[in-house]
């Protein structure tokens, strides 16, 4: 991150709130934020647009900023020949999606920083990702690229405009999937599980080769597939992957939480930035795995991850921040790595020897002459080699990690991007809500409630529309479909785990808005942008999972669950329509459709409804909810209520009508298709019924 130059005035980005844009506020480049002023200037002067897209935690974005955007020669050429626009991809994912599709079509690859050249009308004609400032390692230098693009714009403008128009047409076409017909069969789930098996790494877990990404949606689908079929291979893929990730350097063994991805196949060397969405999705995945297997290590990792987000990435108002950087003091990973001598100084030679053996620390280091903490072997194996009782070793390591963490906390921490994004907050609300019940830890339910209150109080406009991003009191952008879908899902799960009607009312309201503003009534599915959004060069649908669930898939998931809970058939039908739109992806590319597979598994499983009616003792509801959520029941929704259910609660959840508590005890009604079995009265009866489910 560049520090301000006392001898240089700030550019237009100094008026923005995005930390990423502010990192470029003192560049000599004449930057504009995306908006009418820049676009109109490009049209008036008939200059091409240089569009640079990145995000605050992106290491190579920082590198290109230092190398190229601080270079006076490069900046002067950009200012003379281009209208220069800087975009934070987390603020404007709509723009990022469109222009990333263009770069991938032109080059066969994508990534950030993304560098795209546009016609004055915003149509892309050339692009790439990171460019070094001058020719290096077989890569063309950025200055050479700029000269070539400016020359082509002068001499071959008509040709460039035509190719740009053809590329936009191609992007629009790829957003429209071929139609399908007929019901979606369960065989799709079988084929998806087998496809994941073919790309699975049986040694270290995960899918594919380095770099390795976590794939939480695929792992959560495999857990559901195992629950459906009892296929041992599906469960083995999940256990192997989650075990190696939790032991690897991608996991923060001192503070909790996961880095973005691993640069190697063993999960040892992470790309050190921490993203909210990764940690929310992985917390939910480890919670699911704990419930499915009973493995306490999975519960520990989920708990530590949720605590990390709660303690380090949560604002005073309850909002959850977007990211933490990979770099501190300008060095990637510096905050997280250790030398053996540091550990010896903190722990003393004897304890350091044990710690170093367990966590793979050597004098030479395991990465760039320093050490990334990891567990080369499971802790029980390490205890056996050391001749130590396991519980005694665990207690010593707990104390040693706390001592190292106290020292680490005195280091210069990585920078944070403190904006709150509605979709990512929704993912975290879902994780905290269920985590609070699974682990019986009220602090997580409290964190979920505070985050949900923040979004409803600060990230909706006067018309009740959801807003995409909040930073420093500003929330200027209407929500996208994934903002709506993730918040609907988070609010629905928070109602199910707390029983508070505020969350269900908001979920229903957002679902109505999402269908009204995003659904495609002709071809099915959901557009990424609303029907009253700024007009862009193409209006796309987001059906492929990436690091986060696709908007279309998350809409299907949220509406399927909410429809089952409320009995509103319109929600369930919209969920089916969204999956029908994604049929070609489900059938041909199932490894890119984990969230859609989760939604399909839910709907095909004839989901159950569990009405949980509290006794006169209000603690009975907490006990009943913990009993439900301690089990892995992915095909069930829960409607908690006091006795008798109030009229507004019955209005929102009609199948709660005539569901009293029996004999003054906690009573559960387990229903399928809103037809209920005999009531289960008391905790023991509830446990028996849940085990049969």
Structural domain includes residue 684: yes
| CB of 55 closer than 8 Å to CB of 323 | yes
| pLDDT tens, position by position, 500-544 | 999 999 999 999 999 999 999 988 899 999 999 999 999 999 899
Domain final position from 113, 139, 174: 174
| Beta strands 327-328 and 331-332, pairing class | antiparallel
Q: Is the dihedral of CA 610, 616, 622, 627 positive or negative?
A: negative
Structural domain includes residue 106: yes
Structural domain includes residue 542: no
CA distances to 208, 524, 592, 613 from 33, rounded to whole Å, are 37, 34, 32, 53
Structural domain includes residue 236: no
| pLDDT tens, position by position, 54-111 | 998 888 999 999 999 999 999 999 999 999 999 999 999 999 999 999 999 999 989 9
| CB of 645 closer than 8 Å to CB of 657 | yes
Alpha-carbon gap, residue 581 to 552, rounded angstroms: 9
Alpha-carbon gap, residue 309 to 306, rounded angstroms: 5
Domain final position from 365, 386, 410: 410
Residue 1 has pLDDT above 60, yes or no: no
Domain final position from 140, 174, 208: 174
Residue with tokens 């009312």: 505
Structural domain includes residue 440: no
Candidates 615, 612, 512, 614; CA nearest to 562 is 512
* 346-368 average pLDDT score: 97
Structural domain includes residue 478: no
Q: What is the longest distance spanned by two Cα atoms in the chain?
A: 86
| pLDDT tens, position by position, 55-68 | 988 889 999 999 99
**Which helix (H) or strand (E) segment is 50 a member of?**
strand 49-54
**Which helix (H) or strand (E) segment is 610 a member of?**
strand 608-613
| CB of 76 closer than 8 Å to CB of 30 | no
Alpha-carbon gap, residue 602 to 561, rounded angstroms: 8
Alpha-carbon gap, residue 118 to 111, rounded angstroms: 18
| CB of 634 closer than 8 Å to CB of 223 | yes
| pLDDT tens, position by position, 138-177 | 889 999 999 999 999 999 999 999 999 999 999 988 878 8
Candidates 485, 511, 490; CA nearest to 434 is 490
Alpha-carbon gap, residue 288 to 295, rounded angstroms: 11
Range of the domain at 630: 608-692
pLDDT at 137: 77
Alpha-carbon gap, residue 318 to 421, rounded angstroms: 13
CA distances to 217, 424, 627, 679 from 616, rounded to whole Å, are 40, 37, 18, 17
Give 317's pLDDT tier (boundaries 50, 70, 90). very high
Domain count for the chain: 3
Structural domain includes residue 545: no
Q: Is the model's pTM score more than 0.85?
A: yes
Structural domain includes residue 341: yes
- Write the CATH number for 32: 3.40.30.10
């Amino acid at each position: 991150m560049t520090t301000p130059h006392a001898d240089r005035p700030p550019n237009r980005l100094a008026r923005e709130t995005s930390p990423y844009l502010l990192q470029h506020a003192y560049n000599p480049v004449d930057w504009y934020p995306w908006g009418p002023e820049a676009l109109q200037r490009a049209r008036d002067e008939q200059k091409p647009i240089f569009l640079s897209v990145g995000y605050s935690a992106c290491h190579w974005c920082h590198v290109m900023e230092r190398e190229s955007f601080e270079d006076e020669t490069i900046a002067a050429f950009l200012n003379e020949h281009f209208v220069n626009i800087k975009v934070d991809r987390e603020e404007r994912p709509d723009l990022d999606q469109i222009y990333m599709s263009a770069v991938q079509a032109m080059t066969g690859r994508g990534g950030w920083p993304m560098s795209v050249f546009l016609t004055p009308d915003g149509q892309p004609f050339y692009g790439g990702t990171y460019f070094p400032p001058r020719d290096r390692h077989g890569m063309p230098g950025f200055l050479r690229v700029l000269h070539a693009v400016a020359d082509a714009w002068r001499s071959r403008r008509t040709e460039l405009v035509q190719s740009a128009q053809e590329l936009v047409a191609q992007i629009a076409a790829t957003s429209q999937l071929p139609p399908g017909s007929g019901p979606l069969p369960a065989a799709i789930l079988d084929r998806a599980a087998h496809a994941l098996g073919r790309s699975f790494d049986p040694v270290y877990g995960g899918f594919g080769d380095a770099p390795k990404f976590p794939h939480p949606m695929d792992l959560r689908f495999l857990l559901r597939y195992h629950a459906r079929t009892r296929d041992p291979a599906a469960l083995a893929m999940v256990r192997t992957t989650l075990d190696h990730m939790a032991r690897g350097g991608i996991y923060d063994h001192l503070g909790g939480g996961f880095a973005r991805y691993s640069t190697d196949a063993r999960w040892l060397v992470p790309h050190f930035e921490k993203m909210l969405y990764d940690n929310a999705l992985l917390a939910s995945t480890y919670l699911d795995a704990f419930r499915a297997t009973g493995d306490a290590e999975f519960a520990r990792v989920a708990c530590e991850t949720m605590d990390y987000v709660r303690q380090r990435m949560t604002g005073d108002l309850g909002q959850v921040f977007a990211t933490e950087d990979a770099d501190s003091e300008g060095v990637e990973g510096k905050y997280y790595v250790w030398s053996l001598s540091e550990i010896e100084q903190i722990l003393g030679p004897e304890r350091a020897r044990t710690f170093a053996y367990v966590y793979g620390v050597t004098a030479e280091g395991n990465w760039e002459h320093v050490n990334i903490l990891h567990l080369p072997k499971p802790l029980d194996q390490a205890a056996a080699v050391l001749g130590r009782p396991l519980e005694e070793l665990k207690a010593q390591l707990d104390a040693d990690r706390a001592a190292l963490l106290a020292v680490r906390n005195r280091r210069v921490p990585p920078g944070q991007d403190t904006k709150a994004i509605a979709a990512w907050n929704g993912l975290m609300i879902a994780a905290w809500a269920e985590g609070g019940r699974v682990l019986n830890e009220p602090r997580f339910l409290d964190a979920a409630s505070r985050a949900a209150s923040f979004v409803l109080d600060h990230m909706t406009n006067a018309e009740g529309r959801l807003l995409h991003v909040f930073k420093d009191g500003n929330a200027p952008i209407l929500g996208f479909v994934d903002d709506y879908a993730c918040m609907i899902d988070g609010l629905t799960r928070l109602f199910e785990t707390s029983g508070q009607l505020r969350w269900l009312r908001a979920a229903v309201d957002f679902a109505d808005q999402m269908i009204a503003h995003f659904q495609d009534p002709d071809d099915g599915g959901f557009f990424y942008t609303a029907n009253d959004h700024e007009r862009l060069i193409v209006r796309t649908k987001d059906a492929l999972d990436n690091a986060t669930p696709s908007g279309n898939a998350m809409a299907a998931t949220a509406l399927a669950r909410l429809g089952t809970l409320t009995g509103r058939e319109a929600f369930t039908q919209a969920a089916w329509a969204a999956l029908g739109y994604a049929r070609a992806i489900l059938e041909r590319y199932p490894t890119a459709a984990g969230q859609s597979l989760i939604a399909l598994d839910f709907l095909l499983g004839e989901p159950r409804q569990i009405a949980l009616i509290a006794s006169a003792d209000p603690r009975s509801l907490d006990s009943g909810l913990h009993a439900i959520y301690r089990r892995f029941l992915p095909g069930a929704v829960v409607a908690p209520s006091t006795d008798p259910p109030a009229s507004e609660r019955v209005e929102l959840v009609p199948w709660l009508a005539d569901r009293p508590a029996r004999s003054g005890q906690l009573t559960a009604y387990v229903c399928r298709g809103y037809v209920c079995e005999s009531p289960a009265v008391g905790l023991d009866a509830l446990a028996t019924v849940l085990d049969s489910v």
